[in-house]
């Protein structure tokens, strides 16, 4: 009675809008096979998007890809075999749908009256954490893809020091839960806050930091963006009402909207005010954690000097932290809570953290 069923459909990888023709086979698992696609999804992980039959769109709980087909019998068999197919993370399906319908309606009106930025500010606090978490995960996958899939840096000793630093800054900056920070080996000196409290640190910013306090300043600056929910605001701004409508339709993954939103959010960067606010939060946070918050000014200037060496394609990414000279001056002008020259990490811990990519300690010049 559970004989394998097959049908044909289209696979979307969640990064590009391209549809890949695939064959679907439903047995103990859902197998998706095409020219460049070979996936084997557990039935427990399948999630259906809300679509108008006969179109069915099936995503994966932990994967940005999705598959579409028009085969009522296949859809029925999937529904019978997949216990969580119609599960909505966070529950409260109908309430959420109603709220989002209202939000989308309101956003259309607000956008017309005040423009997208104001609408984004008003709507960001309404995004449920479960939706933001899922969005953050999808955008991180996409950002990492855009950067050419740089490897994760997770040498255990370095990771332990980083976790301690993250814990300490989360405390002084009152962030609970602490942001999820990942480090990737990449020759661009930058860090990026994504929705859902995710922060991607590119290893060159660690290499270019001349002290633990400089790096802590960069990290704390991203924490400032997380605290202010700047990234979800940027995503709403970039995606506008189409983003909200796609949320209402339950179509977050595998959609062309998400691709546009992710790229837009990276390219557009944050407002001058958002950058200043994140800097202020960072200086205070690092000071309270026992370091020198003003060290952030020096690293900001240093990474700007080297921007021109960056290969093409990443300029938009780099623009995510603009207005450097002005920011550095403002940071240096901030009243200090403490200036006794103590550092947030010991020299030994800082050396360990610098080796998080598994390489030899780079010259601290
Ligand atoms: Zn920033």
List beta partners, residue 199: 181, 193
Read off the pLDDT of each residue in 61-78 and give the average, rounded to a whole number: 88
356 vs 157: CA distance, rounded Å: 7
List beta partners, residue 40: 31
CA of 347 to the centre of ligand 1 (A): 27
129 vs 275: CA distance, rounded Å: 23
What's the angle, vertex CA 275, arms to CA 269 and CA 280, rounded to 5? 160
Q: How many CB atoms lie within 10 A of CB 242?
A: 14
Instruction: Give per-residue pLDDT as tens, 336-359.
Output: 765 566 689 999 999 999 999 985
CA of 136 to the centre of ligand 1 (A): 17
CA of 321 to the centre of ligand 1 (A): 5
Read off the pLDDT of each residue in 8-29 and give the average, rounded to a whole number: 89
pLDDT of the residue at 42: 86
CA of 65 to the centre of ligand 1 (A): 29
Instruction: Give per-residue pLDDT as tens, 293-341.
Output: 999 999 988 887 654 444 444 444 444 455 678 889 999 998 876 556 6
Q: Look at residue 247 and tell me whether its pLDDT is greater than 80.
A: no
User: Is 24 within 8 Å of 43 (Cβ atoms)?
Assistant: no
Measure CA of the first residue to CA of the last residue in the chain; give whole Å: 69
CA of 219 to the centre of ligand 1 (A): 10
Q: E-assigned strands of 123-262?
A: 180-184, 191-194, 198-202
What confidence category does residue 363 fall into, taking pLDDT thresholds of 50, 70 and 90? Answer: very low
Give one word for 76, left, alpha or beta, with left for phi > 0 and alpha for psi -120 to 50: alpha
Read off the pLDDT of each residue in 237-256 and give the average, rounded to a whole number: 53
Q: What percent of the chain has pLDDT over 90?
A: 38
Nearest to 238 by CA among 221, 219, 259: 259
CA of 307 to the centre of ligand 1 (A): 16
What confidence category does residue 51 fall into, taking pLDDT thresholds of 50, 70 and 90? Answer: confident
Read off the pLDDT of each residue in 55-71 and give the average, rounded to a whole number: 88
32 CB-near residues (< 8 Å, 6+ apart) = 11, 22, 23, 24, 38, 39, 40, 41, 67
Choice between 61 and 215, residue whose per-residue pLDDT is larger: 215
CA of 216 to the centre of ligand 1 (A): 14
pLDDT of the residue at 103: 58
CA of 303 to the centre of ligand 1 (A): 13
CA of 310 to the centre of ligand 1 (A): 19
CA of 99 to the centre of ligand 1 (A): 31
What confidence category does residue 15 fall into, taking pLDDT thresholds of 50, 70 and 90? Answer: confident
Instruction: Give per-residue pLDDT as tens, 280-295.
Output: 999 999 999 999 999 9
pLDDT of the residue at 318: 47
Chain-centroid distance of CA 76 in Å reads 34
pLDDT of the residue at 258: 52
CATH code: domain 5-81 is 2.30.29.30
pLDDT of the residue at 256: 44
Read off the pLDDT of each residue in 56-68 and give the average, rounded to a whole number: 87
CA of 190 to the centre of ligand 1 (A): 10
- For 109-113, 180-184, 346-350, which range has the lowest pLDDT when averaged over its residues? 109-113
CA of 320 to the centre of ligand 1 (A): 6
354 vs 293: CA distance, rounded Å: 19
Q: Where are the domains of the chain?
A: 5-81, 137-354
Q: Look at residue 66 and tell me whether its pLDDT is greater than 80.
A: yes
Average pLDDT, the chain: 79
Q: What is the DSSP string of 307-353?
A: GGGSPTT-HHHHTTS--HHHHHHHHHTSPPS--S---SS-HHHHHHH
346 vs 360: CA distance, rounded Å: 18
CA of 111 to the centre of ligand 1 (A): 25
CA of 220 to the centre of ligand 1 (A): 10
What residues are neighbours of ligand 1 (ion), with CB under 5 Å?
Answer: 275, 278, 321
CA of 273 to the centre of ligand 1 (A): 10
User: Which range is most confident: 118-127, 129-138, 288-297?
Assistant: 288-297
CA of 222 to the centre of ligand 1 (A): 6
């Amino acid at each position: 009675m559970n004989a394998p069923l097959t049908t044909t459909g289209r696979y979307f990888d969640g990064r590009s809008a391209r549809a890949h023709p695939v064959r679907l086979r439903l047995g103990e698992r859902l197998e998706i096979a095409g020219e460049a696609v070979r996936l084997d999804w557990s039935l427990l992980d399948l999630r259906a998007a809300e679509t108008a039959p006969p179109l069915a769109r099936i995503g994966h709980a932990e994967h940005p890809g999705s598959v579409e087909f028009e085969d009522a019998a296949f859809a029925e068999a999937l529904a019978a075999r997949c216990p969580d197919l119609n599960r909505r993370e966070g529950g409260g399906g109908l309430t959420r749908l109603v709220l989002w319908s209202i939000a989308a309606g309101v956003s259309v009106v607000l956008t017309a009256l005040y423009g997208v930025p104001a609408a984004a500010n008003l709507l960001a606090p309404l995004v449920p954490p479960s939706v933001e978490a899922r969005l953050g995960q999808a955008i991180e996958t996409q950002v990492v893809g855009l950067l050419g899939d740089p490897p994760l840096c997770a040498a255990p000793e370095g990771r332990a020091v980083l976790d301690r630093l993250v814990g300490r800054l989360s405390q002084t900056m009152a962030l609970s839960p602490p942001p999820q920070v990942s480090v990737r080996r990449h020759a661009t000196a930058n860090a990026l806050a994504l929705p859902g409290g995710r922060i991607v640190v590119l290893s060159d910013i660690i290499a270019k930091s001349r002290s633990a306090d400089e790096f802590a300043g960069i990290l704390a600056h991203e924490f400032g963006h997380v605290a202010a929910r700047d990234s979800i605001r940027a995503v709403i701004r970039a995606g506008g009402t189409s983003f909200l409508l796609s949320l209402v339709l339950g179509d977050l993954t595998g959609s062309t909207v998400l691709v546009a939103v992710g790229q837009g959010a990276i390219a557009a960067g944050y407002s001058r005010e958002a950058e200043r606010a994140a800097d202020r939060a960072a200086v205070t946070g690092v000071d309270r954690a026992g370091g020198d918050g003003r060290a952030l000014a020096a690293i900001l200037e240093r990474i700007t000097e080297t921007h021109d060496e960056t290969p093409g394609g990443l300029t938009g990414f780099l623009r995510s932290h603009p207005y450097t000279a002005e920011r550095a001056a403002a940071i240096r002008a901030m009243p200090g809570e403490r200036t006794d020259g103590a550092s947030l990490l010991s020299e030994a811990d800082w050396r360990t953290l610098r080796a998080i990519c598994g390489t030899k300690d780079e010259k601290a010049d």
